[in-house]
Structure 1
Amino acid sequence: MLASLHSTAQLSYHGDADVTDLMARRSAWKTARQAISLEDCLIHAIARTLEAYPDFNGVADDVSITRHESIDLSLAISTPMGLMTPVLRDVGSMPLGDIADRRRDLIERAQVGKLAVSEMKGGSFTLSNLGHTRVRYFTPILNAGQIALLGVGRLVETAVVDEVGHPKAARMLPLSLTADHRIVDGEPAGQFLDQLCRHLEQFRAKP
């Protein structure tokens, strides 16, 4: 982590996605016994966003930048053995149900130390989820070599104003994007985060 901070120009951007409709859809899926987590939906939305912004999907060092064709998502997982980042391979081609199955499998095996070393290498983007804590925003540190990482905070219920000026209840998801400013500037980083929020707010994938 120290080497990552010292060798890159890390900058974090913060925003909120209104996931009120998405959470209502998840409740309906749960009633139908379809186990899809908010994190599964996030992974699907991240994949769609990376397809539109491929400069964020890859790795870099002091002399070169390598953009990955496939979206290989590292998942930051807290385990009894410490932090692990197993990789969901080629999530861009996965339907939502497959993402859910693969993510659960990785987490279960990570918790009991049954991941292969090869499963923790080669990620092109990282997701770090602290939504189970009181943390809302944070400045996640890049996984060494990667160009960008998304941090997720605690879902909050709040009041917002609708299109005609009336207050309404909403469920807002805090998001923190860290990117290497040597490679991506502030404007595309802001666009990336904005697009990700829109994918979550207009979520159309089905289990």
Structure 2
Amino acid sequence: MASLARILSRQIHLSARRHALSKFSMPAMSPTMTEGGITQWKKQEGESFSAGDVILEIETDKATIDVEAQDDGVLAKIISSDGTKNIRVGTTIAILAEEGDDLSAQEELPRGDRIFASPVAKKLALERGIPLGKVKGTGPEGRIILADVENYKLSSDATAVSSSTVVSQPGQPAEFIDIPLSSMRKTIGERLTKSKQDLPHYYVTTDIDMGRTLKLREVFNQSFSKEESKAKLSVNDFIVKATALALRDVPEVNSAWLDDKIRQYHRADISVAVATPTGLITPIIRDAGSKGLSTISTETKALAKKARDGKLQPNEYQGGSFTISNMGMMGVSHFTAIINPPQSAILALGSVVPTLVPVDNEKGFGTKQIMKATLSADHRVVDGAINAKFLQALKGYLENPLSFML
């Protein structure tokens, strides 16, 4: 009887342990996130972790975000491997367990129609346009490995269009390359298409004399020592501050269209467009009107670096009230930008160009440092007169930058 009791006790113990396995689903890293990709698992199958440990990196439509463990545990099984994209929020991506659990239960998980392949095999299949569903896996438990993809021959009806590179004739350079969409690029395409289709855009441009701003910037930057050179101010820092002040003066532009109402903000949370390897993202300078030029400069540099590294947190790029897109440093003299809804406007800035203008002197002309500023506005929120009033306020601050110090 004692032996039977021990056996039953062990079976109950193992059953409880087996049921301790839990599903780990693709988390929603922001309120608007519907799907994401797995950049890299930081833990391997069978490896334990503690609360606070980073267990994987997830690619959202805006950034790459570390996912931390909420409790201690063990990564029992990885279902979605590195490089997997377009995973819906809530989809099971791994199985977690507790220390000491019977991990054999993971073998009972149904695989369904999911294709198991190594990351390098997936990458090569994507490059060659090979459907993984037709590749026979020779790895453990039928997993598709690199050699399987290398040895696979496309059927005769496979077309060149499905491949990432197409060669017209053997030995000739490829005619083109197809680049898979990143989550960020896909979202940018969807949002901007919807914005341009749904929002009644219109554009107003003004010329701003940046001469005094450039001189004041030079004076400030000359005061920094070599050790403080990283703290030097950029022209964009002055623009962010001037924009915040102009939004304070003309709050109708600092608004959002919310279908049944217009929300007018009391502070200027300015989104600054930053180009990254995977697309454009707009980190936010919060309450820019209350901050000095030095603080704006420091925050902008830090956020831009995080944006390029794909390390922005959702609160650092969500919720801005107005956007600035400055392409002046790229030699662009003038352009128009697409509004980032629900915001009602976006400011597009070109480069500062020495320009001959009429002046009251002996020659009758002179040279001024002119920058073209174009405000794209949503006509449902911002009327033409309000647009012009905002640009006039912006022009006033940038042409008289000492007003920042008052």
TM-score normalised according to structure 1 size: 0.94
For 1:35, the equivalent position in structure 2 comes to 232
Query: Percent sequence identity over matched residues?
Result: 33
For 2:298, the equivalent position in structure 1 comes to 101
Cα drift, residue 164 of structure 1: 5.2
For 1:201, the equivalent position in structure 2 comes to 399
Q: Is the 8 A contact 1:14 1:137 kept in 2?
A: no
Q: Distance in 1 between matches of 2:255 and 2:381?
A: 11
For 1:127, the equivalent position in structure 2 comes to 324
For 2:275, the equivalent position in structure 1 comes to 78
Q: Is the 8 A contact 2:253 2:386 kept in 1?
A: no
Cα drift, residue 163 of structure 1: 4.4
Cα drift, residue 7 of structure 1: 1.7
Matches within 5 A, 1:1-150: 1-33=192-224, 35-150=232-347
Secondary structure of the 1:63 match is coil
Q: Distance in 1 between matches of 2:376 and 2:341?
A: 12
Of 148, 156, 159 in structure 1, the residue corresponding to residue 356 of structure 2 is 159
Q: Distance in 2 between matches of 1:32 and 1:94?
A: 20
Q: Distance in 2 between matches of 1:189 and 1:86?
A: 24
Q: Which amino acid aligns with 2:347?
A: L
For 1:174, the equivalent position in structure 2 comes to 372
Secondary structure of the 1:43 match is helix
Q: Is the 8 A contact 1:141 1:178 kept in 2?
A: yes
Cα drift, residue 78 of structure 1: 0.1
Q: Distance in 1 between matches of 2:220 and 2:316?
A: 30
Q: Is the 8 A contact 1:4 1:145 kept in 2?
A: no
Q: Distance in 2 between matches of 1:153 and 1:104?
A: 20
Cα drift, residue 58 of structure 1: 2.2
Out of 197-206 and 37-46, give the one that drifted further: 197-206
Q: Deviations over 1:136-186 (max 9, x none)?
A: 221210012101110001110112223457322210111110111111111
Structure number with higher relative contact order (C-alpha < 8 Å, ≥ 6 residues apart): 1
Gap regions ≥5 residues in structure 2: 1-191, 225-230
Instruction: Name which one, 1 or 2, has greater alpha-carbon Rg.
Output: 2
Q: Which amino acid aligns with 1:32?
A: S
Q: Report how many aligned residue pairs link the two structures.
A: 206
TM-score normalised according to structure 2 size: 0.49
Q: Is the 8 A contact 2:216 2:401 kept in 1?
A: no
Give the CA RMSD over aligned residues. 1.4
Gap regions ≥5 residues in structure 1: none
